[in-house]
Chains A and B, each alone.
Chain A
Amino acid sequence: DSGVTQTPKHLITATGQRVTLRCSPRSGDLSVYWYQQSLDQGLQFLIQYYNGEERAKGNILERFSAQQFPDLHSELNLSSLELGDSALYFCASSADTGPDRAFFGQGTRLTVV
């Protein structure tokens, strides 16, 4: 158990809908990272937050957004969902800004039908 908790574990929704994925980092970790793992694109970095502020941005679509709350949990919001958004979404957390010290959650599997 990495200590990073993601909910829900599975999510099935229809095209055009909006969903929110939640991540609770390890106790004391200030950084949260979001990754998308799909068959087409592999494992891609989406976005990083550090202590409530956006720190780095990767291949995140404009339809997606994220935030980190004062209690350090983070949410990834996906809107106007398309079939191609079906993927495993991972959250990782680390004490500082170094992803080399990050621990990954088990992921949320999103299926868009």
Chain B
Amino acid sequence: AQSVTQLGSHVSVSEGALVLLRCNYSSSVPPYLFWYVQYPNQGLQLLLKYTSAATLVKGINGFEAEFKKSETSFHLTKPSAHMSDAAEYFCAVSDPFQGAQKLVFGQGTRLTINP
């Protein structure tokens, strides 16, 4: 079975500082990996995804993530935080050999940006 662990349910950074949200996965097969963002009272929006191409994936809003097989990690980063980045972020994994029919989500990390 696949699973995702997001380290830190709450992360707080200052505006302009580096954002680092951690995600480790467990999968018996090479996985597809995703980061989603959820703004208050909104649905989930796909930030970026890894589907076995380049290990460094660039997404929307200046975010990127690097797939590290040796560390089973897919951490999300952004060089300079903006107030509008305050939201909840979810890492997710799926099994491409099962038709990628369902996403398994982490518990989420709430990102707070301090002025």
Measured CB to CB, the residues of A under 8 A from B are 2, 4, 33, 42-45, 48, 55-56, 58, 90, 92, 97-100, 102, 104-107
The number of chain B residues with a CB under 8 A from chain A is 23
Q: Which residue of A lies closest to B33 (CB)?
A: A100
- A4-B106 in contact (CB<8A): no
A-side contacts of B90, CB under 8 Å: 43
B43 A42 Cβ-Cβ under 8 A: no
Cα–Cα, bound, A48→B43 (Å): 17
**Hey, which chain A residues are within 8 Å of B32, CB to CB?**
100
Q: Are A99 and B108 in contact (CB under 8 A)?
A: no
Kindly provide the distance from the CB of B50 to the nearest chain A CB, expressed in whole angstroms: 10
- B101 near A42: Cβ-Cβ < 8 Å: no
Determine if B43 and A107 form an interchain contact, defined as CB atoms under 8 angstroms apart: yes
In the assembled complex, the Cα of A98 lies from the Cα of B100 at a distance in Å of: 6
